[in-house]
């Protein structure tokens, strides 16, 4: 065994010396190889982390959301439809949601204005009414430790005030106590006070959110009292969600129920390899590998052939030469693979994938500041390993096997040197 190890070490010593003789070419190859692995691993880590987080967090979304569709477009939902929904067997509770988009010209950003659901009206000592958002407990979130939703404790959404997400605060450089100006649907100017900020750690879901009272929301958008954005339905038996959703479609033919599982599947297929940008990244990486493999498999250079000829002439076996070439492939691909994976991890989880940010941000002004949770599966790394290291090593060994089986004299003469 000791002898075998020593033999391998001598071959590795020789291989490294041989690689270092063509330093620039091999270093260039190594850097390129490492960059391909880095790019693929970064995409893999980032997309997996976002998908996992989305699917985990959105498990608490409403079971069924019912939208109204008119002429193929999402329309406002009449409150009178709620009675029809309530009468459907299997429906446990029905609620409404009021939300919409507001384009802020001064910052060029789109905000999502949302009326916090199930607000409890609190009569204060001074006779003033206020609504707090933290009152209504979601029964499905009960198992989780209770924490205030807002950075400022006790922040409440009162008429004339809003609670904003951290992305908005960053873009507007505004904080609690300051005022935000809105241009309502009728051209009137509304000034709303920032009562608090949504916690910065929840930016991935709340960066562009703005919590507002129902009255103010209706004033901004001019939505009448008998209309809401959509309805929310919870089902008695979770197994019956699909059945209830089908019943809703039957009872309200102009509606579109969206079940929670669809939301999950939407985010499960986000960054799918068939998506535009992903296929560009993946195909460029694949082409880079094809060039590597082609370069290797199309044959050895004259110098390499001569080297093999000399080695055979001085007594090296064919198996030794193949072993040398195997180590050559393994040294380059293994070290490049590890370096690429390490750099990809640092890029995604330490710098929040800063190289991808311009592409992900697109034309939007608001982008959530968040660090992806490092969900790494061994399966991903194994797939990446077999897609990169194994083909490259094989592509190095095969042509050298062809060269090593010919006569040393011919190998040296064929070089023409």
Partner 1 sequence: MRKSTQLFLIVAAQLVIAALLWVHGSLSAADSERRLAEERELVGRLMLTDLALFTEARYTRHLSQADLHTPFQDFPMALEHFPSGSFVQPAPGHFQRVP
Residue 95's nearest CA partner among 156, 136, 123, 151 is 136
Residue 211 in the binding site for partner 1 (CB under 8 A):
yes
Question: 84, 184, 227, 278: which one contacts partner 1 (CB under 8 A)?
Answer: 278
Q: Is 78 in the site for partner 1 (CB under 8 A)?
A: no
Q: Quick one: 231 or 244, whose CB is closer to partner 1?
A: 231
Q: Are 411 and 305 in contact (CB under 8 A)?
A: yes
86-145 residues near partner 1, rule: CB under 8 A: 95, 97, 101, 109-110, 112, 114, 116-117, 133-134, 136-138, 140-141, 144-145
Picking from 124, 117, 202, the residue whose alpha carbon sits closest to that of residue 165 is: 202
Binding status of residue 331 toward partner 1 by CB under 8 A? yes
Q: For the segment 349-408, give every residue that binds partner 1 (CB under 8 A).
A: 349, 359-368, 371, 373-376
Helices (H) and strands (E) in the chain, counts: 14, 15
- Determine if 188 is a binding residue for partner 1 (CB under 8 A): no
Applying the rule CB under 8 A, the residues between 226 and 255 that interact with partner 1 are: 230, 232
- For position 12 contacting partner 1 by CB under 8 A, the verdict is yes
Task: Please say which residue, 172 or 256, places its beta carbon nearer to partner 1.
Answer: 256
- Cα distances (angstroms) measured from residue 338 to each of 34, 291, 334: 8, 21, 6
392: left (phi over 0), alpha (psi -120 to 50) or beta: alpha
With vertex at residue 331, the alpha carbon angle to CA 325 and CA 332, rounded to the nearest 5 degrees, is: 95
We find the least distance from the C-beta atom of residue 271 to partner 1, in angstroms, to be 6
Task: For partner 1, give the closer residue by CB, 9 or 413.
Answer: 9
Q: Calculate the alpha carbon distances from 120 to 135, 136, 231, 255 in Å.
A: 7, 8, 19, 29
Q: With beta carbons less than 8 A apart as the criterion, state whether 95 and 64 touch.
A: no
Q: Is the Cβ of residue 241 or residue 403 nearer to partner 1 in the bound state? A: 241
Taking the complex as a whole, how short is the minimal distance between the CB of residue 36 and partner 1, in angstroms? 17
**One residue of 156, 207, 213, 396 binding partner 1 per CB under 8 A:** 207
Which residue in the set 22, 172, 183, 256 belongs to the binding site for partner 1 (CB under 8 A)? 256
Closer CB to partner 1, 142 or 189, in the complex? 142
Nearest to 369 by CA among 386, 384, 357: 357
Q: Whose Cβ is closer to partner 1: residue 97's or residue 305's?
A: 97
CB of 267 to partner 1, least distance (A): 7
How far apart are CB 278 and partner 1 at their closest, in Å? 7
| Contact pick of 84, 174, 223, 339 for partner 1 (by CB under 8 A) | 339
User: Quick check: 26 binds partner 1 (CB under 8 A)?
Assistant: no
C-alpha distance from residue 356 to each of 237, 271, 282, 347, 361 (Å): 42, 13, 14, 10, 8
Show the tokens assigned to 317: 């076996």
Among 30, 102, 345, 401, interactor with partner 1 by CB under 8 A: 345
Q: Contact at 8 Å (CB) between 262 and 242?
A: no
Length of the chain: 417
Binding flag, residue 167, partner 1 (CB under 8 A): yes
Q: Are 152 and 197 in contact (CB under 8 A)?
A: yes
Q: Rounded to an integer, what distance in angstroms lies between the CA atom of residue 289 and that of residue 300?
A: 17
Among 58, 79, 184, 394, binds partner 1 (CB under 8 A): 58
CA pair distance 327, 332, nearest whole angstrom: 8
């Amino acid at each position: 065994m000791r002898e075998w190890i020593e033999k391998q070490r001598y071959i590795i010593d020789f291989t490294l010396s041989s690689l270092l003789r063509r330093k620039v070419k091999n270093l260039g190859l190594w850097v390129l190889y490492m960059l391909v692995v880095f790019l693929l691993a970064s995409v893999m880590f980032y997309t997996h982390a976002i998908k996992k987080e989305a699917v985990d967090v959105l498990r608490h979304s409403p079971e069924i959301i019912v939208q109204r569709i008119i002429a193929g477009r999402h329309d406002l939902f009449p409150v009178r439809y709620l009675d029809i929904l309530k009468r459907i067997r299997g429906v446990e509770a029905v609620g409404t949601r009021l939300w919409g988009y507001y384009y802020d010209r001064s910052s060029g950003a789109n905000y999502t204005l949302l009326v916090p659901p199930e607000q409890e009206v609190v009569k204060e000592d001074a006779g003033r009414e206020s609504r707090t958002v933290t009152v209504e407990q979601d029964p499905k979130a009960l198992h989780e430790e209770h924490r205030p939703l807002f950075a400022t404790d006790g922040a409440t959404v009162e008429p004339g005030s809003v609670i904003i997400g951290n992305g908005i605060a960053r873009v507007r450089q505004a904080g609690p106590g300051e005022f935000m100006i809105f241009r309502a649907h009728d051209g009137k100017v509304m000034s709303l006070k920032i009562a608090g900020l949504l916690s910065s750690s929840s930016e991935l879901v709340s960066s562009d959110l703005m919590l507002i009272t129902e009255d103010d929301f209706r004033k901004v958008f001019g939505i009448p009292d008998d209309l809401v954005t959509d309805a929310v339905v919870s089902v008695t038996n979770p197994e019956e969600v699909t059945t209830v959703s089908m019943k809703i479609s039957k009872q309200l033919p102009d509606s579109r129920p969206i079940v929670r599982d669809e939301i999950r599947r939407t985010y499960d297929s986000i960054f799918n390899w068939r998506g535009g940008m992903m296929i560009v990244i993946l195909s460029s990486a694949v082409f880079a590998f094809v060039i590597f493999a082609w370069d290797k498999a199309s044959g050895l250079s004259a110098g390499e052939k001569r080297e093999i000829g000399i080695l055979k002439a001085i007594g090296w076996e064919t198996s030794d030469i193949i072993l040398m070439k195997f180590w050559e492939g393994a040294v380059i691909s293994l070290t490049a693979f590890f370096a690429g994976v390490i750099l990809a991890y640092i890029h995604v989880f330490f710098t929040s994938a800063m190289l991808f940010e311009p592409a992900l941000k697109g034309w939007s002004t608001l982008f959530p500041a968040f660090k992806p949770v490092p969900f790494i599966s061994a399966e991903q790394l194994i797939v990446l390993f077999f897609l990169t290291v194994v083909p490259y090593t094989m592509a190095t060994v095969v042509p050298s096997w062809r060269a090593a089986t010919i006569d040393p004299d011919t190998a040296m003469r064929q070089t023409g040197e």
